[in-house]
Amino acid sequence: MTGNDHNIAPANHQDSSAGGYPPPPPGGYAPPVAPYAPPPPPPTAPKKSALGKRIGAALGAVVLVIAAKFGLHAVMNRHADRSSSSSGFDYAVGTCLNLAKAGIMVKPSDVRVEPCSSPTALSKVAKKYKGAKNCPNDNYGTLEGGGSGLCLEDNLTIGSCYHQALISHMFASTACKPGALSSDPTFRVAVRSDGVNDPGLCGGDQQVVNFPEPPLTYCMDVLESSG
């Protein structure tokens, strides 16, 4: 026996002098335990209906195209008898506006100030800016002229229905029934959360319209034709 052999007991021998420990399992030591379990797969994002996805993309496309050509829902107030430095659209933040006559070209007289509780005051001044458009995200409409502009939030009512106006692309009131054309869907406001900017409030099949400043989130049901 060498100097090292006396420290190794046979696998089937129990050394009672060592406190009676049981022998190791047959075949040697047990396989090592993994230090941690593999991570679970990442959660999947909530699904939207095909219509919801298409509408979301369409809204974004409209916003970007209008922004590139006119400055997002933009309207100008320059006329031959007005200097280019005239602002014309100077309303305090928090003012609600009726833009039913809004188009690509709008005179200041076409914009009416109304109480925010009015069903026709569908826009609310959220922010002012000078120079280039500077709104927190692309969900804002803008009213521009004379080198300055206003960022507008939608001022919509829970339970009411809207569609996007053909020229201004602002929301306009409509009957609560599916749109006749797939390109002109109807949106019914299911949730309006003032003071909150959180798209996660909405269900997977709802259309989200959220504003960071001041915080406001809408969740809209898309009324689809059954045909």
Residue 35 located in a structural domain: no
- pLDDT at residue 226, as a whole number: 61
Residue 119 located in a structural domain: yes
DSSP the chain: --TTGGG---TT---GGGT-PPPPPTTSSPPPPPSSPPPPPPPPPPP--HHHHHHHHHHHHHHHHHHHHTSSS--B---TTS-TT-------TT-EEE-TT--SB--GGG-EEE-TTSTT--EEEEEEEESS---SSTT-EEEEETTEEEEEEE---TT-EEEE-TTT--EEE--SS--SSTTS-EEEEEEEEET---GGGS-TTSEEEEETTTTEEEEEEEE----
Residue 169 located in a structural domain: yes
- Distance of alpha carbon 154 from alpha carbon 196, whole angstroms: 14
User: Hey, CA dihedral for 61, 65, 66, 67, is it positive or negative?
Assistant: positive
Count of the separate structural domains present in the chain: 1
The residue type found at 225 is S
Residue 192 located in a structural domain: yes
Max intra-chain CA distance, the chain? 116
Domain that includes residue 131, residue range: 50-78+86-223
Taking the C-alpha atoms of 9, 12, 17 and 20 in order, what is their torsion angle to the nearest 10 degrees?
130
**CA nearest 126: which of 115, 114, 137?**
137
Six-digit token string for 60: 């974004």
Residue 11 located in a structural domain: no
Residue 30 located in a structural domain: no
In degrees, rounded to 5, the angle at the alpha carbon of residue 210 between the alpha carbons of residues 209 and 214 is 140
pLDDT tens per residue, range 184-220:
789 999 999 999 999 999 998 899 999 999 999 999 9
pLDDT tens per residue, range 42-55:
443 333 333 332 23
Q: What are phi and psi of 87, to 5 degrees?
A: -85, -50
Six-digit token string for 141: 């409409």
Residue 93 located in a structural domain: yes
Residue 12 located in a structural domain: no
pLDDT tens per residue, range 11-41:
444 444 444 555 555 555 444 444 445 555 5
pLDDT tens per residue, range 111-156:
899 999 999 999 999 999 998 888 999 999 988 888 889 999 999 9
